[in-house]
Amino acid sequence: MTQRLDYNQIAPNGAKALGAVYGYVLQSELPQEMVDLIYLPVTQINNCAYCLDMHTRDLIRKGVKVEKLALLQAWKEGGSLFSETERAALAWAECVTRVAETGVPDEAYQAARSVFDEKELVDLTIAISLMNSYNRMAISFRNRPQAVVDHG
């Protein structure tokens, strides 16, 4: 896979705008580990190798246990590895990422609202939307995962 173009160099102001949204998410009151966790399944749904590699490495570097990472895609069966808040965030992330299929039904919204207040849910949805945007950029322009770069 060859990178098609480097959107960061071609449209630095656009990349900076996405970075500003990322900065907003970082300063939100959402637990950072939870936000980092939802980035990975969003990326798994979108099949973005670049972001899968990057976010897996980030989570490992931040000390997330391998058991939790191994079961992240099957979080519903992950039992106590995932908190109630993490489970609610993961369910919402999957539903919002699959918006064309799900339509984000009232039941999903109500389930998320039972755990998150309005501001938290908006911030979580911004984080999910941002990762979907990054996935689309990386896939469209064929960003190469670090694992591929390192191993030829």
Q: How many CA atoms lie within 13 A of 43 on its CB side?
A: 25
Q: How many residues does the chain have?
A: 152
Give 147's pLDDT tier (boundaries 50, 70, 90). low
Flag whether the pTM goes above 0.95: no
Q: How far, in Å, CA of 13 to CA of 27, rounded?
A: 21
Of 51, 57, 45, 127, which is closest to residue 89 (Cα–Cα)? 127
Backbone angles phi, psi at 57, to 5 degrees: -60, -40
Q: What is the topology classification, in CATH, of domain 31-145? A: AhpD-like (1.20.1290)
Mean pLDDT value of segment 26-45: 95
3-state secondary structure 83-103: CHHHHHHHHHHHHHHCHHHHC
Q: How far, in Å, CA of 92 to CA of 45, rounded?
A: 13
Q: What is the pLDDT of residues 80-135, one digit of tens each?
A: 999 999 999 999 999 999 999 999 999 999 999 999 999 999 999 999 999 999 99
